[in-house]
Amino acid sequence: MTSELFIQYLMAGITYGSIYAIVAIGFNIIYNTTGIINFAQGEFVMLGGMLSITFLQYLPLPLAILLAVVVTMGIGAAIEMLFIRWLVNPGILRMIIITIGISILIREAALHVWGANVRSLPYFFGNEISTIAIFGARVSPQVLWVVGTCSLMVVALNIFFQATSIGREMRACAANRIAAVLCGIDTRNMVTLSFVLSAGIGALAGAVMSPITYTQYDNGTGLAIKGFTVAILGGLGNSLGAVAGGLLLGIIEAFSVSVVPLAFQDAIAIAILLVILFVRPHGLFGSSAMAGLKEF
């Protein structure tokens, strides 16, 4: 393998990895405050893309994306208030089924609103064929947008959860819900906030990746599965783990192309994931105590 080809594979892997990682981070935020996996996370990504494309007809690009993020955040809040907020002691399986139901509903609604056609945002810089050379390999500038957004998000989230009082309260909810209530934290609002936050992150991701991946009503499912895989691989609840897991999966996928037919790429990547899980049953960076706590 020439060094140019190696770097080209690596860049492809980083592209895939960043996309997966952003989706996985959205999973982790809700998981951290509620202990549930929101399977509608992929639909937030799809909505972010679709809404930005729709708003772009009336607004300049940055405003269209901003508005799409805000609207998706509103949808996230509405979902939490309508379906999650008033449940008492919901079991994890019950929550999985409800979020799967929500995901199906959003997807079908999107099909009837936007149709089955593929759409995309324009490239933020340049167009479909402009590239930047990095160590002899060429990448689209949009890839840098995705990687940049992903890194910024991780940094911003870490600051938010470590340094702000709301962030710390959200972490308290995750660590011990009852103790958090006793300390006077309004855990319900924290859960709503986590949905708003992850919807916003998903929507932003959806807008930034739209020029690369395109946006279609059923994009969400595939992304959600990849995001879930990555979240598990990195260890649930661990944002840095999600980034590491995402990059690992992305790079495995990219390099697997050189040895096995592309058609089997997913099967190979998942098989490697299973082996990792069998060796480390709580993901690469997850804590085994946490994994043991959350049962169905």
Partner 1 sequence: MAMSQNFGKNLVFLPIVAAVILIQLLTAWTGSVYYLTQLTMSAYYSLLIVGLCVLMGYAGQISLGHAGFFAIGGYLSAALTTRNLSPYSGQLPVRLLDSLGCLHAGQDLYGDPLLVVTPWVACIIAILVALAIAFILGIPVLKLKGHYLAMATLGFGIIIYRIALASSYFGEADGISGVPGFALLPGLLVSGDKAYRVSNYYIAWTVLLLAMLLLRHLINSRVGRALRAIHGSPEAADAMGVDTARFKLKTFMLSAVFSALAGVLLTHYNGGIGPSEASVMKSVRYVAIVAVGGMANIWGALAMGMVLNFLSLRGFFGTYDDAVFGLILITIMLFAPNGILSLQVRGLWRQRGLFRRKKPAVKEA
Partner 2 sequence: MKRILGKTLCAFAATCLLSAPSVWAENIKVGALLAVTGPSSFLGGPEARTLEMMVEQANAKGGINGKKIELVLKDTAGNPEKAISLAKQLLEEENVLAVLGPSSSGETMAVKKIFEDAKTPLISCAAAEVIVNPLASWVFKTPQNDSFAAIKIFKEMNKLGIAKIAVLVDNSGFGKAGKEQLQKIAPDYKIEIVESEVYDAKATDLSAVVAKIKANEAVQGLINWSIVPAQSIVVKNIRQAGWQVPIFQSHGFGNIKYVEAAGAAAEGVIFPAGRLLMADLLPEGHPQKTLLVQYVKDYEGKYQETASTFGGHAYDAFMIFEKAVAVGGNDKEKIREAIEGLKNLPGTGGMYNFSATDHNGLTLDAFEMMTVKNGKFVPYTGK
Smallest gap from Cβ 34 to partner 2, in A, equals 28
> Which residues ranging from 111 to 140 are in contact with partner 2 (CB under 8 A)?
111, 115-120, 122-123, 127-129, 131, 138-140
Size of the site for partner 1 (CB under 8 A): 57
User: What does 163 interact with, of partner 2, partner 1, none (CB < 5 to 8 A by kind)?
Assistant: none
Tell me if 5 contacts partner 2 by CB under 8 A: yes
Smallest gap from Cβ 276 to partner 1, in A, equals 10
Q: Is 129 exposed, middle or buried (0-12, 13-18, 19+ CB in 10 A)?
A: exposed
H or E segment and range at residue 139: strand 137-139
Count the residues in the chain: 296
3-state secondary structure at position 218: coil
Tell me if 285 contacts partner 1 by CB under 8 A: no
Closest CA to 251 of 267, 237, 265: 265
Ramachandran angles phi, psi of 119, nearest 5°: -130, 170
Quick one: angle between helices 187-213 and 61-79, nearest 10? 140
User: What does 103 interact with, of partner 2, partner 1, none (CB < 5 to 8 A by kind)?
Assistant: partner 1
Stretch that binds partner 1, among 80-88, 136-144, 159-167, 202-210 (CB under 8 A): 80-88
- Give Cα separations from 296 to 28, 43, 97, 252 (angstroms): 18, 24, 12, 31
Tell me if 262 contacts partner 2 by CB under 8 A: yes
* 62/233 Cα distance (integer angstroms): 33
User: What does 184 interact with, of partner 2, partner 1, none (CB < 5 to 8 A by kind)?
Assistant: none
Tell me if 58 contacts partner 1 by CB under 8 A: no
Q: How many CB atoms lie within 10 A of CB 128?
A: 11
- Closer CB to partner 2, residue 41 or residue 216? 216
* 152/254 Cα distance (integer angstroms): 24
Binding site for partner 2 (CB under 8 A): 2, 5, 8-9, 11-13, 15-16, 19, 108, 111, 115-120, 122-123, 127-129, 131, 138-140, 209, 212-214, 216, 218-219, 222-223, 253-255, 257-258, 261-263, 265-266
